[in-house]
Amino acid sequence: MAEAARLRRAPAPRALTRASLAAGVHALARRDPDFATLYQRNGLPPMWARRPGFATLVHIVLEQQVSIAAARTLFRRVSAALGGMTPELVIERGVPGLRRLGITRQKASYCHTLAASVLNGSLSLPGVARAEDAAGRAALLELRGIGPWSTDVYYLMALRRPDIWPVGDLALAIALQEVKRLRRWPDAERQLAISAAWAPWRSVAARLLWHHYLRTRRTRAD
């Protein structure tokens, strides 16, 4: 409870908007010719914003190590079966009930732990949203099943922080290899080294690269 109370007192950082997304794209295009090429070819990337809160974190957990489409289908099926996606409904169904809906044992346990943490007050998601990034990230990373990638995606998509680089995202590794003409997928260390030059717009850089990845899926499959 002390951690949650401390987070509630923290000031709220500014979230990325469509206007600041455009400003970030233009700043990156001036700084990096590869981003200028992506912008000329594909235009502004989508915002891909998600609603902050418990349901989005559950959705992100379900996305771990599976395709976005598969996770979306599972999330919709589970939400429909539960009658929504709230901590109370997850606790009521329990881990065995979640498994019967198609969630793996491990992810069902992660979702149950997340629900319990919200309900017992050890995690305040509104507090995380208002906290400085380091404090909010630390609160999420204390939870079993919420690792760096899940935390980064939540910060980038739901809280819309402008300067997050989600290490461990396969699509970004592939896009970086293609756009920067690297010999192989960059590992986490190299991704962090490359993306450091894009601060304070690393979230915008990630959106530009995701946009490229999605626009070139057909070519990549061929």
- Phi and psi, residue 66, nearest 5°: -135, 170
pTM: 0.88
What is the number of domains present in the chain?
A: 2
Assess whether 87 and 111 both reside in one domain: yes
- Domain contains 213: yes
Q: Is the pLDDT of residue 220 over 70?
A: no
Q: How far is CA 135 from CA 58, 69, 70, 192, 193, in A?
A: 21, 31, 32, 20, 23
Assess whether 37 and 111 both reside in one domain: no
The one-letter amino acid code at 137 reads R
Instruction: Classify burial at 28, counting beta carbons within 10 Å of its beta carbon; exposed 0-12, middle 13-18, buried 19 or more.
Output: buried
- Model confidence over 22-70: pLDDT tens digits? 999 999 999 999 999 999 999 999 999 999 999 999 999 999 988 889 9
- Domain contains 92: yes
Last residue within a domain, chosen from 110, 127, 158: 158
CATH of the domain at 202: 1.10.1670.40
- Model confidence over 108-158: pLDDT tens digits? 999 999 999 999 999 999 999 999 888 999 999 999 999 999 999 999 999
Give residue 172's domain range: 18-47+164-221
Assess whether 86 and 154 both reside in one domain: yes
- Domain contains 10: no
